[in-house]
């Protein structure tokens, strides 16, 4: 899956001369936590997050009253607190690469570009939605985790055995096993009961069932 299919298109943005109060108000109104910053030519120049706004605020130990604080924040411009070294990706990048970048850099979003034009934003919330869909979490059925030997045709045997009994694979996710000789798979199956799934899989060579449960 590529980023352009899951990103938020045409994200809300601000300009560098906006005040911190303006940025906070816009985030609250739109219920977002990230604001790209574009200059007058619509060129990306920065990013402001809710964390940046919190850091820009006064210390809890301040002696200023609420009116003084509000006045100071209304004078403080976004360009003074924004992150200028913004991490971006192309709109045709794959989702898993976006997730890797965000984890490796410990950031909560990526701005999505089409050459020099900002076309979207992808956040950790968007990736959670991808995760939910990949695991078929909204489909009732039987969920199982298994380890299987890393040999050609193993997954085809599993899928064929399930189909022969009238079952359907709603989702399948594969990951590394405990060693190089095995893979770990997570399946969500509809159309079969838990006992029927167990009966189907018990005769498949090289398969070790790690967990099975009804998923509602």
> DSSP per residue over 154-210, as a string?
HHHHHHHHHHHTT-EEEEEEEEE-SSTTEEEEEEEEESS-HHHHHHHHTTSTTEEEE
**pLDDT score for 59:** 47
Degrees, nearest 5: CA angle 141-146-149: 145
Report helix, strand or coil for 108. Answer: coil
Domain with CATH 3.10.580.10 in the chain: 3-131
Mean pLDDT of the chain: 89
CA dist 190 and 7 (Å) reads 29
CA dist 56 and 41 (Å) reads 26
**pLDDT score for 130:** 92
**Class for the domain spanning 136-215:** alpha beta
Q: Which residues contact 164 (CB under 8 A, 6 or more apart)?
A: none
Degrees, nearest 5: CA angle 22-25-31: 135
20-30 and 66-75 are packed helices; what angle lies between their axes, rounded to 10 degrees? 100
**pLDDT score for 61:** 39
Cβ-based neighbour number of residue 78 at 10 Å: 23
Domain with CATH 3.30.70.260 in the chain: 136-215
**pLDDT score for 70:** 58
**pLDDT score for 64:** 47
**pLDDT score for 177:** 84
CA dist 103 and 50 (Å) reads 19
Q: Could you tell me if 143 and 212 are in contact, meaning their C-beta atoms sit under 8 angstroms apart? A: yes
Beta pairing class for 88-90 and 109-114: parallel
CA 12 to chain centre: 19
Four-way CATH pick for 3-131: 2.130.10.10, 3.40.50.2000, 3.10.580.10, 1.10.10.10: 3.10.580.10
Q: What is the pLDDT along the chain (216 residues), one digit of tens a residue?
A: 899 999 999 999 999 999 888 998 999 999 999 999 999 999 999 999 998 888 875 544 354 445 555 555 566 899 999 999 999 999 999 999 999 999 999 999 999 999 999 999 999 999 999 999 888 888 899 999 999 988 888 889 999 999 999 999 999 998 888 888 888 999 999 999 999 999 999 888 888 999 999 988
pLDDT digits (tens, 9 = 90+) for 79-108: 999 999 999 999 999 999 999 999 999 999
């Amino acid at each position: 899956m590529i980023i352009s299919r899951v990103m938020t298109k045409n994200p809300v943005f601000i300009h560098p001369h906006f005040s911190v109060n303006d940025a906070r108000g816009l985030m609250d109104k739109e219920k977002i936590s990230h604001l790209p910053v574009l200059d007058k030519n619509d060129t990306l120049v920065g990013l402001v997050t809710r964390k940046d706004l919190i850091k820009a605020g006064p210390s809890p130990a301040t002696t200023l009253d609420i009116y003084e604080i509000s006045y100071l924040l209304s004078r403080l411009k976004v360009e003074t607190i924004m992150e200028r070294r913004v991490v971006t990706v192309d709109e045709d990048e794959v989702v898993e690469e976006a997730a890797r970048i965000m984890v490796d850099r410990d950031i909560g979003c990526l701005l999505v570009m089409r050459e020099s034009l900002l076309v979207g934003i992808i956040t950790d919330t968007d990736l959670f939605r991808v995760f939910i869909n990949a695991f078929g979490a909204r489909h009732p059925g039987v969920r199982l985790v298994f380890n299987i030997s890393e040999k050609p045709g193993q997954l085809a045997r599993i899928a064929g055995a399930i189909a022969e009994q009238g079952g359907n694979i709603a989702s399948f996710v594969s990951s590394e096993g405990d060693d190089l000789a095995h893979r770990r798979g997570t399946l969500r199956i509809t159309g079969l009961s838990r006992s029927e799934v167990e009966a189907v899989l018990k005769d498949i060579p090289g398969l070790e069932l790690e967990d099975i449960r009804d998923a509602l």
